[in-house]
Amino acid sequence: MEDLKALRDDLLRKVQTAEEGGLQRLHQIKVWLKRVKTIESQFNDLDSSRTVELQRLCCCGVGSRNLRLSYDYGRRVFLMLNIVEDLKSKGIFEEVAHPATRAVGEERPLQPTIVGQETILEKAWDHLMDDGTKIMGLYGMGGVGKTTLLTQINNRFCDTDDGVEIVIWVVVSGDLQIHKIQKEIGEKIGFIGVEWNQKSENQKAVDILNFLSKKRFVLLLDDIWKRVELTEIGIPNPTSENGCKIAFTTRCQSVCASMGVHDPMEVRCLGADDAWDLFKKKVGDITLSSHPDIPEIARKVAQACCGLPLALNVIGETMACKKTTQEWDRAVDVSTTYAANFGAVKERILPILKYSYDNLESESVKTCFLYCSLFPEDDLIEKERLIDYWICEGFIDGDENKKGAVGEGYEILGTLVCASLLVEGGKFNNKSYVKMHDVVREMALWIASDLRKHKDNCIVRAGFRLNEIPKVKDWKVVSRMSLVNNRIKEIHGSPECPKLTTLFLQDNRHLVNISGEFFRSMPRLVVLDLSWNVNLSGLPDQISELVSLRYLDLSYSSIGRLPVGLLKLKKLMHLNLESMLCLESVSGIDHLSNLKTVRLLNLRMWLTISLLEELERLENLEVLTIEIISSSALEQLLCSHRLVRCLQKVSVKYLDEESVRILTLPSIGDLREVFIGGCGMRDIIIERNTSLTSPCFPNLSKVLITGCNGLKDLTWLLFAPNLTHLNVWNSRQIEEIISQEKASTADIVPFRKLEYLHLWDLPELKSIYWNPLPFPCLNQINVQNKCRKLTKLPLDSQSCIVAGEELVIQYGDEEWKERVEWEDKATRLRFLPSCKLVLCNR
């Protein structure tokens, strides 16, 4: 290794001398030096443990106290020696540098005003120029600035002496045609004329390959919509040896993966400061200073553009000649109520965004996308709820197989996220939600209204603070109406709505009454959402007139009794009664024979055995969420194979030790969430006839245990391999999360999918797990209040390596951090900086 480093130092002196003379180091020199740097780091790791390895030897070095470890170390030394010898043999260069060359390329025009791309430009440039990067993908929604970023990269290559010989720019677009791409490349490298044009695609590919194989090239592909077969075009594979690069832009993240790019860079909308800076520059100082009130009004217009550079540019240009406050006030009214009223938006922005919509693979996917515009601006939309809507609306066929229909729903969501038409993740990066960029939502509303030709087809007044139902010119043409999050107090009248299929009235917290006449003429209504109307205490019997209704959500309302007419809704598939704290009874639910989903969590009424018997009679039931507060009901539930098969979420509360000493759980394949609170059971175990090697709860993702003072461990969680969230609170006797003694018979590594672990007020807790765990997905550990005996976490220096974000360890006791015992020094150095004092109450 010393010989190799000496060879490297001599080579570096030669290179530096050549570079001082205006020459440029050869690419093969860069590659060799990088390999030496890598192997030097590996050698240092190996060398640092030599003393320990020598001490392991015995019998004058002939034997070892641990043959396996000594053999492994010896093998690594032997391999390292071969690599070093190989690098030494390849480190003799007759020539180390050549005259600097400037890439042959075409500098492309840029718009004069570019704001907020400095950081991502440098990040993208550094990533592309890294020797390990062959292909780079840039993705993001339409109008966000991907082409501008790629243009800046193109122009930088043209201005930089970096050894690149040719830069080729090709606009691919949605209509991908190999011969058109070959024609553009051919023109850049000198293949022109009748003879070239008459060649077949295969012959052109050979010509392009032969030419580019001898060049260090950069290929920039703008606006690709699906995988581009580079070999069919004739593009050589970029490698570290040839130094060639390929970069592309796309709206779809999935395209990046199809191109072999698994770490693409997302181009995002501008932050508030950069957006305002760009808007100011487009409007101009003269206009902004033409009246003292205009700058403040202009900020509101800029905010309506939501950081989208294309919108800021176009609307900024539109407003550059508006020098009266009346014009700017009008702009605020239009932009905040319905941005598509801007002529410039319709003409330039929305058609560009619509291209993403037009390229969706099917009409059902397009319909599902447009449906998302019914929700309020910036609303987080729960994925499962959205899929339930889609199934009941008939966008997805849910008649045969609920699991398959839900899978199709998630596939559609994935398609929309990859197309940058939806954004995944809510608070704390919760992947259970999606949201719509505001400008994309405007585009969806524009399309839903048939490009504004039929505005009353789809009426969306979500979050408008309405005090009453809006006046509609012609109710007969309305197909969907969304009045979410308003201040409507009473709903009267009898509108004739022969085409209405969707009615969103949720989150009108002042709503107290809906007249019976209102539902009389809605024969095609399929979805009715009345959730979160916390002051709504009753429904009229005329709800029975909704003969086509499939989806009814009354959750979080104050309704005390269900109307008799509700039991006549024979087509009803989905009924959500969760958190209806005033509800007295759901007796007669078995009359709704078509029900597939029934949600009964968090009700104050007792779940009786007779109600469980009614639920068992629902032959089409597929999804059940339920709350149990009596031991007899729990026994009845767990003995019913039909109901257990349907269980998705279950809450068990207030069972004392006398009624349930040991809770025995059967295998529940579709169970997603479990809450156990205020119970006195001594243990939770798995049924004996269940295999200890197979997951009993393959879909269980969230568990909350609180106030269970008889439990000493939660070893049953071994059989929940996909658990993502675990909360254990206020349980005085819990000593271990996973008991080493109980788990000895099960060869299972737990918590491989765990993302969030919250431990609160567990005075006897000493161990989460007895050995370090890999925790490939763990993002946060939160240890709060009276967990003083927990002095060691199951972590080592290799834990959480795969997790996308650095682990955060939050603690509530200032002394806890000092008491923690780390696995070793490397573990301490790795995770101690991640510890943060956070005082909280759950």
734-746 per-position pLDDT tens digit: 999 999 999 887 7
Residue 319 is predicted with a pLDDT of 86
Categorize the per-residue pLDDT at 436 as very low, low, confident or very high, splitting at 50, 70 and 90.
confident
Tens of pLDDT, residues 451-490: 767 777 899 999 888 999 999 999 999 999 999 999 999 9
pLDDT for 428: 52
Average pLDDT rounded to a whole number, residues 578-606? 93
Query: What pLDDT does 409 receive?
Result: 96
Better-scored residue on pLDDT, 128 or 398: 128
Pairwise pLDDT comparison (106 vs 667), residue with the higher score: 667
At 790-840, the pLDDT tens digits run 999 999 988 988 654 678 898 888 788 888 999 999 999 889 888 888 755
Mean pLDDT of the chain: 88
Q: What is the mean pLDDT of residues 169-197?
A: 84
- Is-above-0.75 flag for pTM? no
CA distance 649 to 579: 14
Confidence at 685, pLDDT banded by 50, 70, 90: very high
Return the pLDDT at 366: 95
pLDDT digits (tens, 9 = 90+) for 518-535: 999 999 999 999 999 999
DSSP-derived pairing of the beta strands 702-706 and 725-729 = parallel
Domain boundaries, the chain: 1-98, 117-266, 286-356, 363-444, 467-584
Taking 60 as the threshold, does the pLDDT of residue 234 lie above it?
yes
Instruction: Give the Cα separation of 113 and 278 in Å (integer).
Output: 7
pLDDT digits (tens, 9 = 90+) for 376-401: 887 889 999 999 999 999 999 987 77
Report how far residue 362's alpha carbon sits from residue 490's, in angstroms, rounded to the nearest whole number.
40
Asked if CATH classification 3.40.50.300 holds for the domain at 117-266, the reply, yes or no, is yes
Please give the Cα distance from 396 to 384 (Å, whole number): 13
Better pLDDT: 91 or 690 = 91
pLDDT of 427 higher than 90: no
Cα 637 from chain centroid (whole Å): 35
CATH for the 363-444 domain, from 3.90.75.20, 3.40.50.300, 1.10.10.10, 3.30.1330.100: 1.10.10.10
- Cα–Cα distance for residue pair 26/33, rounded to 1 Å: 11
Q: 598-657, pLDDT tens digit by residue?
A: 999 999 888 889 999 999 999 999 999 999 999 999 999 999 999 999 999 999 999 887
Give the separation between CA 241 and CA 127, rounded to whole angstroms. Answer: 17
Distance CA 447, CA 661 (A): 59
* pLDDT for res 266: 93
Residues 216-231 have pLDDT tens digits of: 999 999 999 899 999 9
pLDDT at 204 over 60: yes
* Residue 511: band (very low, low, confident or very high) from pLDDT cuts 50, 70, 90: very high
How is 661-697 classified by DSSP, letter by letter? SEEEEPP-TT--EEEEES---SEEEE-TTS-TTS-S-
Report CA-CA distances (Å) from 303 to 272, 281, 376, 441, 458. Answer: 8, 15, 17, 15, 25
Question: Does residue 734 come out as left (phi exceeding 0), alpha (psi in the -120 to 50 range) or beta?
Answer: beta
Q: Which one is predicted more confidently, 757 or 608?
A: 757
Q: 261-316: per-residue pLDDT in tens?
A: 989 999 998 999 999 999 999 899 999 999 999 999 999 888 888 888 888 877 88
What CATH architecture applies to the domain 467-584? Alpha-Beta Horseshoe (3.80)
Phi, psi of 725 (to 5 degrees): -130, 125
Confidence of residue 842 (pLDDT cuts 50, 70, 90): very low
Instruction: State the Cα–Cα distance between residues 777 and 752, nearest whole angstrom.
Output: 7
At a CB cut-off of 8 Å and minimum separation 6, what does 223 contact?
A: 146, 147, 171, 172, 173, 174, 249, 250
For residue 578 the two structure tokens come to 């969760």
pLDDT confidence of residue 191: 82
Task: Please report which confidence band the pLDDT of residue 357 belongs to, taking 50, 70 and 90 as the band edges.
Answer: confident
Q: Is residue 318 classed as helix, strand or coil in its secondary structure?
A: helix
Q: Which of 24-38, 389-403, 589-603 has the lowest mean pLDDT?
A: 24-38
Comparing 647 with 191, which gets the higher pLDDT? 647
**Where residue 342 falls among pLDDT bands split at 50, 70, 90?**
low
Name which of 487, 380, 471, 463 is nearest 427 in CA terms.
380
Alpha-carbon distance of 418 to 254, in angstroms, equals: 6
| Per-residue pLDDT at 422 | 87
Do the first three CATH levels of 117-266 and 363-444 match, i.e. the same topology?
Answer: no
Chain-centroid distance, C-alpha 636:
39
